[in-house]
Structure 1
Amino acid sequence: MKKADRPSAAKPMPSAANAYFNEESLKFLRGLKRNNRRDWFDPRKPLFETVLKAPMLKVIEEVTGAMVEFAPDHVRPAQMCMMRIYRDTRFSNDKTPYKKNVAAWWSRHGLEKTSGGGFYLHLSAEELMVAAGVYMPEREQLMAIRGFLLDHHEELRGLLAGKKLRQLFTPDYGELLSRPPKGFPKDHPAMDLLKCRQWALMAKLPVEEALKPGLVKRIVTYFRTAAPLVEWLNRPLIAAPKENRPLLFGLY
C-alpha cells in the first residue's frame, strides 16, 4: 500500500461555532471517487464516520430544527433523513459499492415510501447541491400533479416566478414530453407544465461553501424559499392512492 493510500488518523471535528465539514471531509470524498472499492473503504470507515457522517448528521439536525417554522410536515430525526453511503447495485450495470456523496432527503410525513415533494442536500468532492421539489414521481403521482395543474397552474406559475426563488435556484423539469400527455386537452394553457416529468429546483454551489461556518444558515435560506413550492406539489399527492412499496432511497 502506498503512503498516499494509507488511511489517515481522524482529526477532531470542528465545533459548531466554526464549521461542520473540513478539508479532511473533502479529502475523503476525493479518495472515494478514485478508489470506489470495499478494500479501500473498509479500513477507512472510522474516518468516514468522523469526518463525513457525524458532521452531516449535525447539519441535518440543525437544518431540521429550523424547518419547524416553515416545513413542519418534513421534520424527522436526522438518522431518518440521511441517505446511506452504500449503493443498491442489484439492478445496475455499475457495481461500484459506494455513492460519491453524502446526502439527505427530507420527505413529507405520509409520503415517506413514495416520491412526494421534499428537500434534498448532498456534498460531493465537486459540489454542494441544494434542491427541492418532486423528482421522478411514480405514475399515480405524476397523474395527480398533472390533474391538479389543470385548475391550479396559475398558482404554480406564480410560485416559480418568485424573484428570490429565481435568484437561488434553477428549475429542473426532467425530460419533457414531445407531445401532450394522453388524456389531457392539447390546447390547455398549462400544457408547457403538463409536459414536465418532474417539477424541481436545483442549486449547485462551490464545494468550498461546505467548509464555511454559515453552511446551515445558507441551506435553511434555500429550503425556506422553496417550501411554498414543495407544499403546493404535495397537495394533490396527500390524497393520491398509496401502495406498500419499498423505500426509494437507502436511509440510515
Structure 2
Amino acid sequence: MTEILGFSKATFDFLRGLTENNEKSWFDAHRDDYERYVREPFVATLEAAAEATVGGPLELHGGRQTMFRINRDVRFSKDKSPYKTAVGGLLTPTGDKREHNGVAYLHLAVGGGFLACGFHQLSPAQLTPIRDQIIERAEEFTAVLSRLADRGRALSDDDSLRAMPRGYADYADHQHAQYLRCKSFMLMQNLSQKDWLTGAVVDQTAALVADGAELIAFVAHV
C-alpha cells in the first residue's frame, strides 16, 4: 500500500520545511516536492480510503475534489502566513467537499496527524433537534455510546460548551448532560508518521467510518 500511496520521508521533510519557511519564495522553490510527496499521495489516500468503505455500513467518497487547498485565506486573519503547515481532506456521502455532516476528515501533519468522523461545529439551529433527540431517546443513545466503547471508541468532547446550552439548564443532571453541551459529534483518532508511510491510514479510516456509522445515523435522524 505504501508504494501505491507514495508517502515517504520526503513528505514530512517538506511539511517541516514549510513550517520553518512559510513564505511564497520557499514554496515556489519546492512546489514539485509538494506535488510529488504530499498532494498526489494524499489524493491517492483519499481515493483508497473511500474505496475501503465500499460494502461497509457507511460508504463515503472523495479524492482530488475533496482535498483542501494548502493556501491559507488570510483576508481576515492577523496571521498572514500564506500556507497551511498541514494537509486535510474529506470523505463525504456524495463526494462533495461542501458537505460537512456525517463525513470523515483526514489530517496529515509533521507529527502524523489525525482522523475524525462525524459532524463538525454544528449551528445552534442544527444542534437543537439533536439535543432534543438525545433527551427523548436517551436509552438508545446510551446503547450507541456503549457499542462505541466496546470498539474502543468514544465521542470527542473537544468542541463543547462549558455550561449547558440556552434552554437546557433543566437538564444539567441528565445522564447525557455532557453530550448536550457538544457542538460537534465526532470520533477522533491520532495518527503517527508510520501510519502514513505504511499505508495503514487507509484501513484505519475505513474502520473509524464503520465504527462511527451508528453514531452518524443517530445524529442524522432528526
TM-score of the pair, normalised by structure 2: 0.85
Query: Secondary structure of the equivalent of 1:161?
Result: helix
Give the alignment's Cα RMSD to 1 decimal: 2.5
Contact 2:12 2:110 in 1 (8 A): yes
CA distance in 2, matches of 1:150, 1:117: 21
The answer to whether the aligner puts 1:203 opposite 2:189 as a matched pair is yes
Unaligned runs of 5+ in 1: 1-13, 237-252
Q: Deviations over 1:161-207 (max 9, x none)?
A: 225666255623413331x3223361454333212222212111222
Query: Secondary structure of the equivalent of 1:36?
Result: coil
**Aligned counterpart for 1:154 among listed residues 139, 155, 159:** 139
Query: Secondary structure of the equivalent of 1:210?
Result: helix
Seen in structure 2, the aligned counterparts of structure 1 residues 215 and 116 have a Cα distance that, compared at 3 Å, is closer
Q: State, as a whole percentage, how many aligned pairs show the same letter.
A: 28
Report matched runs for 1:1-252 at 5 Å: 15-16=3-4, 20-70=6-56, 71-72=58-59, 74-76=60-62, 78-109=63-94, 113=98, 115-162=100-147, 167-168=152-153, 171-178=156-163, 180-184=164-168, 186-187=170-171, 188-236=174-222
Amino acid at match of 1:184: Y
CA distance in 2, matches of 1:102, 1:227: 25
Q: How many residues are paired up?
A: 218
CA distance in 2, matches of 1:128, 1:110: 22
Query: Secondary structure of the equivalent of 1:192?
Result: helix
Seen in structure 2, the aligned counterparts of structure 1 residues 161 and 91 have a Cα distance that, compared at 3 Å, is farther
CA distance in 2, matches of 1:220, 1:110: 15
| 187-196 or 118-127: bigger deviation | 187-196
Amino acid at match of 2:3: S
| 146-155 or 49-58: bigger deviation | 146-155
| 79-88 or 224-233: bigger deviation | 224-233
CA distance in 2, matches of 1:48, 1:110: 24
| 142-151 or 93-102: bigger deviation | 142-151
Shift of 1:47: 1.4
Shift of 1:132: 1.1
Query: Secondary structure of the equivalent of 1:215?
Result: helix
CA distance in 2, matches of 1:230, 1:130: 15
Shift of 1:24: 0.6
Seen in structure 2, the aligned counterparts of structure 1 residues 20 and 165 have a Cα distance that, compared at 3 Å, is farther
Contact 1:170 1:203 in 2 (8 A): no
Query: Secondary structure of the equivalent of 1:128?
Result: strand
CA distance in 2, matches of 1:28, 1:111: 28
CA distance in 2, matches of 1:43, 1:208: 27
Amino acid at match of 1:42: D
Query: Secondary structure of the equivalent of 1:21?
Result: coil
CA distance in 2, matches of 1:132, 1:165: 17
TM-score of the pair, normalised by structure 1: 0.76
Shift of 1:114: 5.7
Query: Secondary structure of the equivalent of 1:226?
Result: helix
Seen in structure 2, the aligned counterparts of structure 1 residues 177 and 169 have a Cα distance that, compared at 3 Å, is closer
